[in-house]
Amino acid sequence: MHVDQARHQSLSTLLRRSAARHGNKPAIICGEISWSYLMFDDIVDALGRGLIDRGIAKGDRVAILARNSHVFAALRFAVARIGAVLVPINFMLTAEEVRYVLDHSGARLLFVDRTTKALGLDARTAAVEAIFGIAGEGIAPPDGIPSWDTLCRPGPIPDEVVSADDLLQIIYTSGTESRPKGAMLTHGAVLWQYQSCVIDCEWSARTVALHALPMFHCAQLDAMLGPALQSGATNIITATASPDNLIPLLSRYKVTSFFSPPTVWIGILRSPLLDDADLSQLACGYYGASIMPVEILRELARRLPALRLWNLYGQTEIAPVATVLFPHEHGDRAGSAGRPTLHVSTRIVDDAMHDVPAGEIGEIVHQSPQLMIGYWNDAKRTAEAFAGGWFHSGDLGVMDADGYITIVDRKKDMIKSGGENVSSREVEEVLYGHPGIAEAAVIGMPDPRWIEAVTAVVVARQGQAITEAEVIDYCRTRLAGFKLPKRVVIAESLPKNASGKVLKRELRALV
């Protein structure tokens, strides 16, 4: 028992150690709020104590449906400190989709902000015992429900109750199935991933990072915020990823590190504010979710000559960074996802789990201590994901003779539009509910803004007349905004193989 205590490690101890090392240095800045590392650690203690007094015990699920804020960061660590399990929820989902996540996870508490209060109340399930409001960037908590700070209670919380093997979070990820899967990540898995990021992405105490992409994504939460706090960096948190908001923040705080999908980088380049902004301190730029167009890489190099770029590829189930393309590799290998990061082993295999030759297409599979321990309440999909002792990413890629990976396609037809995962099958199921549609197929098509635009190809029922606008309006009340088709093509038929499977490769050639 004493040995276990002496060797103890969790997300909570990470913050305690950073507070001890960096003390009064700013840890979190959000709007007018500025918390030092010591203040942040004390607030996490107080909030964690309040959760315990509210009856939340080790293993209980606590959901958050909110935009980025200082309170989001505090809640993330407070839940971890008491051994409870965080369930971050995408605030762009519909009430029905949020309700499914709450019901499936069995969340006991739900935290919302002013922008998500109505959605949270609408989606509330019987298991949710209480809803609390959290403060945002210059915005008070929502009216009519208890504020997060009413939970805060004085007194430290012992770290020994939590171990590296304990469940830290369940993050729901879209797949080809109509319902999302809850990836279970332990404290240890996330901490292994932090080590990969700290070393491969050059996080340090000198870093000033701007966090603008939603923290319900593990990319912002665990590839960026977590490693930054472990390193002693100063972290600027904002809820708005528009160029008009980002460029002044990058300049005002002399930000050195910033992550976003290519769509946001493109928006910054197109903003007239960039012409007069001083971003000379911005040295480390990270992107992921989609491949950065080569022309955009060239433009970034011209407009922001001090900026070095990393391409980070991965997925929720690996916490999330699996491979890295370093700045010095972009010149010769732009478009590549790079090579496996520090604690990841990666292969490209065929359906029999044999390595395919260099340059040939296969499925990307991983082994790593960063990996999830399975899908929540879903033994069947867990077994499928880990078949053969490797985690199956569902992505198709090629590996060259030097070990560099290029993503070719999504094995399960995942579309990544504007940095968001969209299941083609989920959109197809909605389309099939339209009374005038006989057949439907959904693909991602190259787009200058979204990188991939959700594109639907539909066949009308005999005797029915449908229009693009009508189909999009039909989907609008049934799908989150980012899942809506950006384009609908009315076709006479869909190309199929002999077994009746729609040939999406041929479909792309027709659109």
Same domain, yes or no, for 471 and 325?
no
Q: Do 432 and 386 share a structural domain?
A: no
Q: Which of 428, 286, 399, 297 is nearest to 338 (CA)?
A: 399
Per-residue model confidence (pLDDT) at position 372: 98
Whether cis (ω within 30° of 0) applies to the bond prior to 320 is yes
- Residue 409 placed within a domain: no
pLDDT at 452: 86
Which whole-number Å values give the CA distances from 468 to 136, 319, 475, 484, in the listed order? Answer: 38, 38, 11, 12
Looking at residue 176, its pLDDT comes to 38
- Of residues 416, 439, 421, the one with CA closest to residue 490: 439
DSSP string, 204-220: -TT-EEEE-S-TTSHII
Domain that residue 220 falls in: 2-396
**174 & 305 share domain:** yes
pLDDT of 409 = 64
| 408 domain-assigned | no
Report yes or no on 271 lying in a domain. yes
Helix pair 11-22, 37-53: axis angle to 10 deg? 150
Q: Examine the domain organization and report whether 494 and 365 are in the same domain.
A: no
In this structure, the answer to whether residues 334 and 462 fall within a common structural domain is no
- 339 lies in the same domain as 431: no
From 343, 363, 396, give the residue that closes a domain: 396
CATH of the domain at 501: 3.30.300.30
Q: How many residues does the chain have?
A: 511
For residues 168 and 21, membership in a common domain is answered with: yes
Q: How many CB atoms lie within 10 A of CB 253?
A: 17
Do residue 125 and residue 268 come from a single domain?
yes
Does 386 reside within a domain?
A: yes
* Cα separation values, 129 from 104, 109, 162, 193, Å: 15, 6, 24, 33
| C-alpha–C-alpha distance, residues 398 and 336, integer Å | 10
Q: Is residue 403 part of a domain?
A: no
Task: Write the single-letter amino acid at 112.
Answer: V
Structure tokens that stand for 4 in this block: 């276990």
CATH at 193:
3.40.50.12780
Quick one: pLDDT at residue 292?
Answer: 79
Number of compact structural domains in the chain: 2
> pLDDT of 427-465, one tens digit each?
887 898 898 988 888 898 888 888 789 999 998 988 889
For the chain of 511 residues, list the mean pLDDT of each consecutive stretch of 10.
80 96 98 98 97 96 98 98 97 92 98 98 98 94 97 84 94 69 98 97 98 95 98 97 97 97 87 96 91 82 96 96 96 91 97 96 96 97 97 92 86 73 78 87 86 90 90 93 92 69 75 77
Is the same domain home to 286 and 196?
yes
Q: For residue range 143-194, what is the model confidence (pLDDT) as tens digits?
A: 999 999 999 998 888 767 899 999 999 999 864 345 789 999 999 999 999 9
Q: Are residues 328 and 461 in the same domain?
A: no
Specify burial of residue 195 (Cβ count, 10 A radius: 0-12, 13-18, 19+).
Answer: middle
Whether residues 313 and 457 fall in one domain: no
Same domain, 172 and 38: yes
